[in-house]
Structure 1
Amino acid sequence: MKNVAKRRHRPLTEAEAAYHGGYAEGRRFGGCQAIMERVQSYVPAPRDMKVLYIPQGFDAIDEGVILALQQSVRECVVGSPAAMLQEAGQHRPDVVLVMNGLHVFPENHLEQVRGIRELGIRTAIWFVDDPYFTEDTASICQHYDIVFTHEEAAVSFYRDKGAQRVIYMPLAVNPGMFHPRRTEPQHQYDICFIGTGFWNRIDLFNQLAPYLADKKVFIAGSQWSRLARLDVLGRFIHEGWIDPATTVDYYNGAKIVINVHRTCENGEDNRNTHQLEGNSINPRTYEISACGTMQITDTRGDLPRYYRPGYDIETFTTAADLQRKIQHYLHHEEERQAMAWRGLLTTMNRHTFNRRMAELLGHL
């Protein structure tokens, strides 16, 4: 048998690379458009109800809830944490729905809730940061008529703390914000992660540093100065907050987006003094998939309820496992895009705020 010399491929010129990048982006976006045409239309049946919604100040969730309420009830009034009692007295809603009740809420938050209930108005709260702030939510839950939580492990916990009605209600995505879109070269990367540098994430990326060194990587968020391998990863890091609209650009532009849930351990980054386990998936799970992008996430107990690992989402267990899967999907474009498109279809058909709000309102 003759020895055949291996063909050496010359590096692409800048123009050739731009052409190939544009072709790949066009194919990705075209596939996403085809998937969106298969999404089942869903128009909620309006309920004869007036809701005063009190946002938490995080647009990615609040805007989705507000839009869903506007399409689902007779009237939705958006209030503020500082003036919710005054606004309830002014608008006389059927129910006041509070998002989270943490972070931006004033010290008299619970006094206001008591005043609203004395007006004969029902109150409900949706905890979406469980189980990371149980030191606070353990007392807050007792003051509301209905408690919704996206963490199933917290349901019995809140009942034990005196909450009268506690209902498991997972999060969802706002498709008006998170959806497929065309991207420009400045948003196109091999690998993307956007989020705070919690210690479990820091440990993971320290381990991945040698592998990521020659990749095109985008990491954004706060506290990434904790990294021990800043010598390798520092050039990839964009310290600080990125607004949702820009986040959508980076999600769409990435070949792979990594999702890592924060640790549930009480300590520097959490106030989980009651040490509840975390089984719920984070909002990022829905948001990444809604952009039609390949997602590799760590495992959570709730994940198989909403996605099919290996079919419409990929999972990892260790840094070595994640590295192996990143390498595989970077070099298998059709397989990567097929999984991303299946994740897009699952998300848009099952996990939008319109659908979730219909379920929530059914309990009010």
Structure 2
Amino acid sequence: MNAVSTLLQAEQRDGYLPGYWEGYRFGGCQAVLGRIPVQPPDLFNLRVLYVPQGFDAIDQSIIAALKESAAELEVSLPGGMLEKAVSMQPDLVLVMNGLHVFPPEHTQHVDQIRARGIKVAVWFVDDPYFSDDTALLAPHYDEVFTHELTGVQLYRELGCTRVHYLPLAAGPELYLPQQVGEQYQYDICFIGNAFWNRAALFDEMASFLQGKKVFIAGGFWERLHEGQKLSSFIRSGWIAPEETARYYNGAKIVINLHRPTEPGQDNRNSRGLAGSSINPRTYEISACGTLQITDVREDLTDYYRPGYDIETFSSTAELQEKIAYYLGNEQERAAVAWRSLLTTRKYHTYRDRISRLLAAVSKA
């Protein structure tokens, strides 16, 4: 084989083939989206005041869904929700999470709104990691929604009479198939903080990841013992949701590992509640039409089918085996990702969740 032939083969391997498979993936995603029938939103004769949690990736999707389904929608910052509720007199005040960006007088304002005969609901989406805080907040609400199965029993034991399990979802306005530039294209991607179980996983995989194109981003990655081997893969700090979606689209495989729930440095969960429900990342990765390999939570199989529209692992060895397999089997990787996209867009968007929430409130 002469030098010219060798060069041409290298160009095909390093340029043409990655571009071909990215086009193949994206084209399949567009075909999948074209198969989903357009359904009108469910409509509810409710005037809603929405109080965001301050995380745009979720807030903006919920606002979009509420605009479709509620008779009227207004949005208030947490510090102004009492004044806004008094002037608007809504049928429902929906507080998202009630943590992190809320002022100290938060519960006092909730009590004052309820005293005026206005129904107030909260949707907790950080359970069970901050259950010490949410346990104090929940009794102040008429309706309590939680994405976490173990949270339902907790709030009922605390005397809350109307508690609902409502899983999270993906916002298709943000998390959707895209064609992205080379700077976002990796073999393996993980975006999230280095909780101790995540640091341990990547320490175990440090040697396996050598020679692959890997992107790891988030905080606390100084916890790694194998930081020297992995340092070239790591981008420290927060990644904006729009940027996150681009990295998901550009990756051949995205790893999802749920954070641990044990009380301690990273959690306020002194009751030691287990984590039984999947995180929003599960839906968001799938909504981008990318293969996801995730650890297993109890309710995962209520929403996805392992081996069909998602892949799972229970050990580092199994994860490495599946990464190696899917990196070498492009068509199978794309097929699982397409099925995951279809499942997510049909069943797991915030339009569905808000419809379920408003239906539950309407029945009260």
Same fold (TM over 0.5): yes
Q: TM-score, length-normalised on structure 2?
A: 0.96
Match of 1:261 in 2: 258
How many matched pairs? 357
Residue type of the partner of 1:244?
P
Give % identity: 55
Give the aligned residue type for 2:325: H
The separation in 1 between residues aligned to 2:330 and 2:11, in whole angstroms, is 21
The aligned residue for residue 77 of structure 1 is 74
Structure 2 residue 187 is the aligned partner of structure 1 residue 190: yes
Q: How big is each residue's C-alpha offset from its partner over 1:68-105, in whole Å with a ceiling of 9 and x where there is no partner? A: 00000111111111111111112111110001101111
Aligned to 2:3: none
Alignment partner of 2:73: what SS? strand
- Which one-letter code corresponds to 1:54 in the other structure? V
Letter of the 2:255 counterpart: I
Residues in 1 aligned to 2:114 and 2:15: alpha-carbon distance in whole angstroms: 61
CA distance in structure 1 between the aligned counterparts of 2:323 and 2:7, rounded to whole angstroms? 24
Q: Quote the residue 1:110 is aligned against.
A: 107
Q: Which residue of 1 aligns with 2:302?
A: 305
**In 1, Cα distance between the equivalents of 2:284 and 2:106?**
30
Spell out, residue by residue over 1:195-221, the C-alpha distance to the aligned partner (whole angstroms, 9 max, x if none): 111111000000010000111000011
Does the alignment pair 1:61 with 2:62?
no
Instruction: Note the 1:1-364 alignment, pairs <5 A.
Output: 12-14=9-11, 17-364=14-361
Contact 1:124 1:148 in 2 (8 A): yes
Structure 1: runs of 5 or more not aligned: 1-8
Whole-angstrom CA distance in 1 between matches of 2:39 and 2:327: 35
Shift of residue 42 of structure 1?
A: 2.5
* Contact 1:52–1:78, Cα closer than 8 Å, also in 2: yes
In structure 2, the gaps of 5 or more residues are 1-5
1:74 partner SS = strand
Amino acid at match of 2:57: A
Question: Displacement, 1:14?
Answer: 4.9
Counterpart-to-counterpart distance in 2, 1:213 and 1:11: 26
Shift of 1:190: 0.0
Deviation of the 1:107 alpha carbon: 0.7
Shift of 1:45: 2.6
Matched residues in 2 for 1:47 and 1:39: separation? 24
Asked if structure 2 preserves the Cα contact closer than 8 Å seen for 1:142 and 1:164, the reply is no
Measured against aligned partners, the alpha-carbon deviations of 1:322-341 in whole angstroms (never above 9, x if no partner) come to 01110011001111110000
Give the secondary-structure state (helix, strand or coil) at the position aligned to 2:222. helix
CA contact (8 A) 2:21 2:330 kept: no
